[in-house]
Amino acid sequence: MAKKYRWAFFMNLDKFFNPHSIAVVGASAQKEKVGFSLVYNLLQGRQREIYPVNNSQSEVLGLKCYPSILEIKNKIDLAVIAVRAENVVSALDECGKKKVPAVIIISAGFKESGEKGASLEKEIQRVAQEYEMAVLGPNCLGIVDARADLNVSFAVEKPLPGGISFLSQSGAIGTAMFDWARQAGVGLAKFISLGNETMLTEIDFLDYLADDSDTKAVLVYLEKVSNGQKFMELAKKLSAKKPIVILKAGRSRKGLAAAMSHTGSLAPEDAVFTAACRQSGAIVVESLRQLFNLAKLFQLGIIKPRRRLAVLTNGGGPSVIAADLIELSRSLELIELHDETKQALQRVLPPMAAVNNPVDVVGDAPPSRYEEAFKILTAEKEIDAILAILTPQMMTDIETIARLFVYYSKKKPVIPLLMGGEAVTKGLAVLKEGGLVNFDFPGDVVEALDVLGGEQIKRVAESSPKKPPTSLTMQDFNETKFLLRKYGVELVGVFIEEKEKIGAVLKNISGPSFALKVVSPEVIHKTDFNAVRLNLSTAEEISRAWEEIRENIRVRIPNAKIQGMILQPMLKGKEIIIGMKQDPVFGPVLVFGLGGIFAEVLQDVAMRVAPVGEKEIQSLIEEIRGFPLLAGRRGEKPINFEKLVQLISAISHLALEHPEIKEIDLNPVFATENDIAVVDARLMRA
């Protein structure tokens, strides 16, 4: 199953979107049945060969009904199955015999409904593999290609044709988005409801959409990821060509549990998923509203960041709110207008108008005032987009002004914000006719532009109570040291097996003072057991500390096995931590942060999925809030970033080449302007 995405290379997914002939298995003449809607929706589209199949009916919507797909003489490109769950396997088997290359199974009642359904679903898999059919579903809504005027789904209404494709692991989210998009005037290219993903998964369709010229932008609703690394690879491929926006459910503990039980699949941790998407250039959104508002931007033709904004308004309050939100955004800018531009505006606008950005043409503005301002602002090269606000005041000629929005949007992106309800209805109709969409509130526009234009939102991993890693065995210190050395990472500490060797060791290690720590599988949090001694200078002091530590542990854990102790020179510098953990979906994940309270109290850490290049590591380091401490403040010198990048890169390589190591924890690491010194390291394996 892990390699099911490979189907994409064998099967022609194109048959889902460009079929000449379609069989509807389970077609029905009864209006309330899915089998009726499927035939009905197909007939509403472009003319194609449609073959209803149902052995208990003779005619469906004026078309001859076949008792079995095998009775149809012509070639069938695509079959849609909407029979009861227990009859799906035999229907699919007949599709195989008929050599149908692509099949959509709409029927529900499989793994989502319990054990019996799950075993039926395994049968689907077997039959699909036997005949090498590309199978979508079961338990899905179907497929829609608005540009090809094809609706192979039981969704009620045809969407408007456009450039946005939507991939959904939830049928309900699909229908809702469908309906919203139609109402708001957002045009769709392809819509794919993925259902249970028994055979074809999100991976296959991402691959397809990356090369689909009709698709200008991709929206994805995800509850699970079939293959983390492959997902990233395709997201990278896609995002290099067009924006891909992902809403992932299961961001919280309970949501994750719900998504996992819902899909029966392993779901990645949210922080890992976000880091992975970010690395791949995908845009991660946090709510349906954000997803939808990005779709609106795409509809307006804004598929690349537009950061330098002008605001045009007929109301003071809304423009102050918009200015606030733009200024408080992470990536957007309310541009400063040139003096000449201001003067030009002054010449054509009344004295009460504001000619700074926001440009306020004032409450009683007739269309001509908007037009004059539009002329000047659309000619200004430095403006990336115009946020055009209209509030319905008494004299406002909303329809004519909306027509100006449409006209000037051909010169420069205009983002319409008609603020109101019934009063602006006619204006909304004008916008829709002109291919524009309206935003409801200033915050929606700014948030969507900021998500598109900004760095992805940094989120902190949810803290989870740390369990002692009982199922893991701790690596021996020297083994750790040698393994790290293979990757060019030198531990500054020395492992000493017996107290008697202290003198000899001291000759090979330099430092004005030392720390001594016990090594014992029973003692994990060393400070909790008083098993660390600091500021030791002479061999005598070290010996005495050794005895004290041994005694401390003996009293509290009589059976503890003391393997030896680690002697480390005491270092100064900024304390940082570098970690790695194997994620079940994405593989090795690197974690970076400042040590001590920064990691513990403030949870100021950032993540990347390995492998990581130099630039990626740099962005990882810069992402933490405490970054200014490393960069140097008040004339302080920055730490040695070059060596830090090397170190993180080394851990990335180590993790990839040693999948048996489940966790790495370099802690503490001291960073100075000269060096990055790894004082202690823990490696855990399964």
Per CB under 8 A, contacts with its own copies among 503-532 are: 527-528
* Numbers of helices and strands, H then E, in the chain: 24, 30
| CB 460 to its own copies: min, Å | 11
**What is the C-alpha to C-alpha distance for residues 421 and 423, in angstroms, rounded to an integer?**
6
Q: Which distant-in-sequence residues (6+ apart) come within 8 Å of 503 by Cβ?
A: 539
Name which of 523 and 567 has its Cβ closer to its own copies: 523
Q: Does 366 bind its own copies (CB under 8 A)?
A: no
**What is the C-alpha to C-alpha distance for residues 439 and 462, in angstroms, rounded to an integer?**
33
Q: Which of 40, 407, 441, 641 binds its own copies (CB under 8 A)?
A: 441
Q: Candidates 144-152, 376-384, 387-395, 498-506 — which segment interacts with its own copies by CB under 8 A?
A: 387-395
Tokens, residue 504:
């000899």
Name which of 82 and 275 has its Cβ closer to its own copies: 82
Q: Does 431 bind its own copies (CB under 8 A)?
A: no
Q: Candidates 62-70, 308-316, 367-375, 475-483 — which segment interacts with its own copies by CB under 8 A?
A: 308-316
* CA angle centred on 408, ends 402 and 409, rounded to 5°: 90
Q: Does 420 bind its own copies (CB under 8 A)?
A: yes
DSSP 128-186: HHHHT-EEE-SS--EEEETTTTEEEE--SSPPPEEEEEEEES-HHHHHHHHHHHHHHT-
Name which of 96 and 626 has its Cβ closer to its own copies: 626
Q: Does 422 bind its own copies (CB under 8 A)?
A: yes
Q: Candidates 297-305, 325-333, 339-347, 498-506 — which segment interacts with its own copies by CB under 8 A?
A: 325-333
Name which of 301 and 443 has its Cβ closer to its own copies: 443
Q: Which of 335, 288, 267 is nearest to 179 (CA)?
A: 288
| CB 468 to its own copies: min, Å | 15
Site string for its own copies, 532-571 (x = CB under 8 A): ----------------------------------------
| CB 494 to its own copies: min, Å | 28
Q: Which residue has the tokens 């199955």?
A: 81
Name which of 86 and 327 has its Cβ closer to its own copies: 327
Applying CB under 8 A, the site for its own copies has a residue count of 93
Q: Taking CB under 8 A as the criterion, which residues in 29-48 touch its own copies?
A: 32, 34, 37
| CB 496 to its own copies: min, Å | 27
For residue 312, list its beta bridge partners.
359, 388
Q: Taking CB under 8 A as the criterion, which residues in 620-659 touch its own copies?
A: 625-626, 628-629, 633-634
Name which of 138 and 564 has its Cβ closer to its own copies: 138
Q: Taking CB under 8 A as the criterion, which residues in 577-606 touch its own copies?
A: 597, 600-602
Residue 473: how many other CB atoms lie within 10 Å:
11
Determine the distance from the C-alpha atom of residue 578 to the mean position of all C-alpha atoms in its chain, rounded to a whole number.
Answer: 24
Residue 326: how many other CB atoms lie within 10 Å:
24
**What is the C-alpha to C-alpha distance for residues 72 and 93, in angstroms, rounded to an integer?**
15
Name which of 439 and 495 has its Cβ closer to its own copies: 439
Q: Does 89 bind its own copies (CB under 8 A)?
A: no
| CB 34 to its own copies: min, Å | 6
**What is the C-alpha to C-alpha distance for residues 327 and 642, in angstroms, rounded to an integer?**
34
3-state secondary structure (DSSP) of residue 336: coil
Q: Does 386 bind its own copies (CB under 8 A)?
A: no
| CB 543 to its own copies: min, Å | 28
Q: Which of 570, 572, 547, 566 is nearest to 505 (CA)?
A: 566
| CB 175 to its own copies: min, Å | 6
Q: Candidates 230-238, 319-327, 370-378, 540-548 — which segment interacts with its own copies by CB under 8 A?
A: 319-327
Q: Which of 180, 407, 487, 641 binds its own copies (CB under 8 A)?
A: 180
Q: Does 226 bind its own copies (CB under 8 A)?
A: no
Assign residue 671 a region (left: φ > 0; alpha: ψ between -120 and 50; beta: otherwise): beta
Q: Taking CB under 8 A as the criterion, which residues in 55-84 touch its own copies?
A: none
Q: Taking CB under 8 A as the criterion, which residues in 603-622 touch its own copies?
A: none
3-state secondary structure (DSSP) of residue 117: helix
Q: Does 315 bind its own copies (CB under 8 A)?
A: yes
Q: Which residue has the tokens 């309330």?
A: 32
Q: Which of 570, 499, 493 is nearest to 537 (CA)?
A: 570
Q: Which distant-in-sequence residues (6+ apart) come within 8 Å of 4 by Cβ?
A: 199, 200, 201, 226
Q: Which of 351, 468, 512, 558 binds its own copies (CB under 8 A)?
A: 351
Q: Does 161 bind its own copies (CB under 8 A)?
A: no
Q: Taking CB under 8 A as the criterion, which residues in 93-112 touch its own copies?
A: 108-109, 112
| CB 592 to its own copies: min, Å | 17
Q: Which of 127, 126, 84, 92 is nearest to 109 (CA)?
A: 84
| CB 183 to its own copies: min, Å | 3
Residue 669 contacts residue 647 (beta carbons within 8 Å): yes
Q: Does 460 bind its own copies (CB under 8 A)?
A: no
| CB 186 to its own copies: min, Å | 10
Q: Does 252 bind its own copies (CB under 8 A)?
A: yes
Q: Does 271 bind its own copies (CB under 8 A)?
A: no
Q: Would the CA dihedral through 438, 444, 446, 449 be positive or negative? A: negative
Q: Candidates 122-130, 254-262, 369-377, 662-670 — which segment interacts with its own copies by CB under 8 A?
A: 254-262
Q: Which of 494, 490, 489 is nearest to 508 (CA)?
A: 494
Q: Does 487 bind its own copies (CB under 8 A)?
A: no
Q: Which of 325, 549, 617, 655 binds its own copies (CB under 8 A)?
A: 325
| CB 615 to its own copies: min, Å | 24
Residue 681 contacts residue 650 (beta carbons within 8 Å): no
Long-range pairs, 503-511, Cβ under 8 A, ≥24: 503/539, 505/567, 506/539, 506/542, 506/567, 509/567, 509/569, 510/569, 511/569, 511/570, 511/571
Q: Which residue has the tokens 């960073």?
A: 671
Q: Which of 160, 288, 506, 570 binds its own copies (CB under 8 A)?
A: 288
Name which of 111 and 278 has its Cβ closer to its own copies: 111
Q: Would the CA dihedral through 502, 503, 508, 509 be positive or negative? A: positive
Residue 531: how many other CB atoms lie within 10 Å:
24
Q: Which of 28, 165, 170, 438 binds its own copies (CB under 8 A)?
A: 170
